[in-house]
Chains A and B, each alone.
Chain A
Amino acid sequence: MAFLSRTQIVVAVGAVLLALYVLDLVRRRRLSEEYSLLWVIATAVIAVLGFSTPLLVWITDLLGMMGAASTVFAFGLAFAVAMLLYLSIKLSRLGFENHALTRDLALLRHELDEMRARDGGEESK
């Protein structure tokens, strides 16, 4: 651990704090378990890379990266892209469902109004 650079420590501590915050959000039901998974995995990977210099160096060599710091950022960026794409997909689906629900609601509302008009007409006598 003696050869941990300052950058590594900052990144790793940041990742651990973020992971704790994500778990706390799940505990308070502000974030669903489904979404937390990607976050927890990503922060764990970044933290491990940050703390373990031999692993980081090995992966850096394996990928042919110019420096160890680039490897950490590359992983972070890959995660950000994955998360954004995932959110876009979710958002599209939400929009689609919302669209369908709106149409259904409108038709049901119309039917309800018609039924009320019919019933009201009979009862008011």
Chain B
Amino acid sequence: MTSPARVLVIIPAHNEEDSLPGTLAEVRSKAPGVDILIVDDGSRDGTSRISREHGVPVVRHPVNLGVGGALQTGFRYAVEHGYDIGVQLDADGQHDPSYLGVLLEPVLEGKCDVSIGSRYVTSTGYKAPLNRRLGMLLFSGVVKLACGHTITDTTSGFRAYTRKVMEVCQHDFPKDFPDAPLLITFARNGFRLLEVPVVMRERVAGQSFYTLGKQLYYPYKNLLASLMALIRRPV
């Protein structure tokens, strides 16, 4: 590497005022070389205020678009501000910034275009409930159809993306949940995906994007979106 790559950590946040200060402090201490962007996805609490108090740039959606929309906004910001790599990191403290190096390494070395911090590549002690495990099995199967190899943790929101990937996401992006359909879209666009093992923690505070009401709708919607991403021609 000649000049160090510019890395932007994109943190989608929806009502995360409780966990955000801890997450920001941790990213700064464990990964001092990276910039941070908060995408406040229509929060009703002090998410934006806390970000500004910490001196972190914050882009605020006037209404809630979902984590996919927040990510897309972050990508656009990263592309416009000349970043080489974008890292997606949850605001709730689930993702340990000490793994940023592990996550970035294969992308920096050109081994892949998207690296995914996975709970399941090696045994990391995470045990999911049965319905979740079945869903994961199903979606990693669908993703395998598209990219040829298995991605075990399709729902992981701890990922690093090259600039090229973020550029493509400006016009080809599945709505709502950025998991299996998004990974398939990447594979269909010829991007290489790679999983790296990470340990994830319990969320500190706030509410998951995957709420109870979406639990029935989610598998249907996601499966359909995945299959459509499979047969749709990449742009």
Contact = CB atoms under 8 A, between A and B. Distances in A.
Contact of A103 (B58, B65, B80): B65
B57 interface: yes
Contacts of A116: none
Interface stretch (B21-29, B69-77, B181-189, B190-198): B69-77
B168 to A, nearest CB: 16
B73 A107 contact: yes
Given A99-B69, A99-B175, A105 B76 contact: no
A110 B58 CA distance: 7
A109 B73 CA distance: 12
Contacts of A103: 61, 65, 69, 72-73, 76
A106 B72 contact: no
A5 interface: no
B31 interface: no
Interface residues of A, number: 10
Report the contact-size class of chain B (Cβ under 8 Å from the partner). Answer: 10 to 19
Interface in A41-84: none
A106 B175 contact: no
B59 interface: yes
B76 A107 contact: yes
Contact of A99 (B57, B60, B65, B76): B65
Contact of B60 (A96, A109, A114): A109
Interface in A78-122: 96, 99, 102-103, 105-107, 109-110, 114
Given A109-B60, A110-B60, 9 more contacts: A96-B175, A102-B65, A103-B69, A103-B73, A106-B60, A106-B73, A107-B59, A107-B76, A110-B57
Give the 5 A-B residue pairs with the shortest CB-CB distance, closest first. A110-B59, A103-B73, A106-B61, A106-B59, A102-B61
